[in-house]
């Protein structure tokens, strides 16, 4: 073993958020659209709007053409279910890894470990702009606080992931993100970390962050109060069953935060068997009929079912290179069915 500590070498300069947004600006009409979409999501989270939020799309984004193809289908589906569901497309540019692995399109757009971050930032922002132009609201996982400023004018809903919900750095970042926040339970299944995160992110605080010119600054965050828990299952198995939803909701209520939850049909709730997401949605539909406190669902879905190995080449068009996904037809069928279970006039029962 080399006993010497290594030193950092080979530094590269990265385009700043200001430079990238100057190159790929957000038009005024899209700014207005995104402001409206953020408000619509906030109203569902607060219960003012009785529709369901559906965060849906590929586990990770790797191919802009296939993502746009998917987005176009989502736009048509949104028209069919507009009175019951608000579809928000997963545009996940970064992947958190359990240990190590491909870290997503923004970090390694060519998927060959060349880690061309400047190219990743460019193609990622280009793709987000194109999807926004189709009229869809965007969801992403806020993972690397240094990268959030490159996309924060575009995102309407953020996930804080199972591997980072407990992190103070991420809670600080969340307190100044402009979209609504979904905090996942931890990978061990425990949701107290997410409850603490919801409370922490809601508070204005002094944080260190990178500004639009790439400088490290100390700033005051406003606090973000539009947030909720996402139940994604854990090491011991799923946590979407009615008694588990009730228990989580009671704990949230006791903590004085939003007691309604989003159910992630994927991850440990489907045991990474993508087709089982349909069973989770069936259960959500039944729970909605029984007035369970559910505000939304998350689904990992792409054009083609399953997953393929990560590769630098094109691979199978429209198939995930990370977690397995539900195919388009099954996604569309399940969401149309789910829409029929949403009760727009339901008084959501508060847990006893």
Ligand X SMILES: C=C(OP(=O)(O)O)C(=O)O
**Binds ligand X by CB under 6 A, chosen from 17, 77, 92, 229:** 92
Using CA atoms, how far residue 107 sits from 23, 172, 248, 343, in Å, is 19, 22, 35, 41
Residue 20 or 88 having the CB closest to ligand X: 88
312 DSSP assignment = S
332 DSSP assignment = H
**Binds ligand X by CB under 6 A, chosen from 62, 84, 103, 184:** 184
237 DSSP assignment = B
Residue 20 or 302 having the CB closest to ligand X: 302
Identify residues 265-284 at the interface with ligand X (CB under 6 A).
Answer: 267
**Binds ligand E4P by CB under 6 A, chosen from 27, 82, 101, 317:** 101
Residue 60 or 283 having the CB closest to ligand E4P: 60
Query: Which of ligand X, ligand E4P, none interacts with 326 (beta carbon under 5 to 8 A by kind)?
Result: none
Give yes or no for residue 95 binding ligand E4P (CB under 6 A).
yes
**Binds ligand X by CB under 6 A, chosen from 103, 209, 228, 232:** 232
Name 208's bridge partners: 218
Which spans in the chain are helix H? Answer: 17-23, 28-46, 64-81, 117-133, 168-174, 192-202, 242-255, 277-289, 328-339
* Cβ neighbours, 10 Å, residue 243: 8
Give yes or no for residue 58 binding ligand X (CB under 6 A).
no
Residue in the shown chain whose Cβ atom is closest to ligand X: 161
Identify residues 53-82 at the interface with ligand E4P (CB under 6 A).
Answer: 59
**Binds ligand X by CB under 6 A, chosen from 47, 96, 223, 315:** 96
CB 163, min distance to ligand X, A: 6
Query: Which of ligand X, ligand E4P, none interacts with 98 (beta carbon under 5 to 8 A by kind)?
Result: ligand E4P
Burial 178-198 (b: 16+ CB within 10 A, else e): bbbbbbbbbbebbbebbbbbb
Report yes or no: 245 and 230 within 8 Å, Cβ to Cβ.
no
What is the bridge-based pairing of β-strands 205-210 and 216-221?
A: antiparallel
Of 45-53, 115-123, 127-135, 159-167, the window that binds ligand X (rule: CB under 6 A) is 159-167
DSSP run (H or E) holding 230: strand 227-231
- Sign for the CA dihedral angle at 151, 152, 156, 160 comes to positive
CA pair distance 324, 138, nearest whole angstrom: 21
CA pair distance 348, 315, nearest whole angstrom: 45
CB 207, min distance to ligand E4P, A: 25
Give yes or no for residue 271 binding ligand E4P (CB under 6 A).
no
> Which tokens hold the place of 183?
């905090």
CB 233, min distance to ligand X, A: 8
Query: Which of ligand E4P, ligand X, none interacts with 265 (beta carbon under 5 to 8 A by kind)?
Result: none
The site for ligand E4P (CB under 6 A) is made up of 59, 95-98, 101, 267, 322-323
Residues that bind ligand X (CB under 6 A): 59, 92, 96, 141, 159, 161-163, 184, 232, 267
């Amino acid at each position: 073993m080399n006993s010497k500590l290594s030193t950092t070498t080979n530094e590269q300069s990265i385009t700043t958020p200001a430079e990238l947004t100057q190159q790929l600006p957000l038009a005024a009409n899209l700014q207005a659209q995104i402001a409206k979409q953020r408000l619509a999501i906030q109203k569902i989270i607060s219960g003012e709007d009785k529709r369901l939020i559906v965060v849906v799309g590929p586990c990770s984004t790797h191919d802009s053409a296939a993502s746009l193809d998917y987005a176009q289908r989502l736009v048509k589906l949104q028209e069919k279910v507009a009175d019951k569901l608000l579809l928000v497309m997963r545009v996940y540019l970064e992947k958190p890894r359990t240990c190590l692995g491909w870290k997503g399109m923004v970090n390694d757009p060519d998927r060959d470990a060349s880690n061309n971050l400047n190219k990743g930032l460019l193609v990622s922002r280009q793709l987000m702009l194109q999807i926004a132009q189709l009229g869809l609201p965007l969801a992403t996982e806020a993972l690397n606080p240094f990268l959030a400023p490159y996309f924060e004018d575009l995102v309407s809903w953020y996930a804080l992931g199972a591997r980072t919900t407990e992190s103070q750095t991420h809670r600080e970042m969340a307190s100044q993100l402009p979209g609504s926040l979904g905090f996942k339970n931890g990978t061990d299944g425990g949701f107290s970390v997410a409850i603490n995160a919801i409370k922490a992110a809601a508070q204005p605080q002094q944080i260190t962050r990178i500004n639009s010119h790439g400088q490290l600054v100390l700033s005051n965050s406003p606090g973000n109060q539009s947030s909720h828990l996402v139940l994604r299952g854990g090491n011991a198995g799923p946590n979407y069953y009615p008694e588990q939803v009730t228990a989580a909701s009671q704990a949230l209520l006791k903590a004085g935060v939003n007691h309604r939850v989003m159910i992630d049909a994927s991850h440990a709730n489907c045991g990474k068997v993508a087709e089982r997401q349909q069973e989770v949605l069936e259960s959500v539909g039944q729970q909605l009929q029984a007035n369970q406190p559910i505000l939304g669902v998350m689904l990992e879905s792409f054009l083609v079912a399953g997953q393929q190995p990560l590769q630098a080449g094109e691979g199978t068009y429209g198939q995930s290179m990370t977690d397995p996904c539900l195919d388009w037809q099954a996604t569309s069928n399940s969401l149309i069915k789910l829409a029929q279970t949403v009760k727009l006039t339901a008084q959501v029962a508060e847990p006893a």
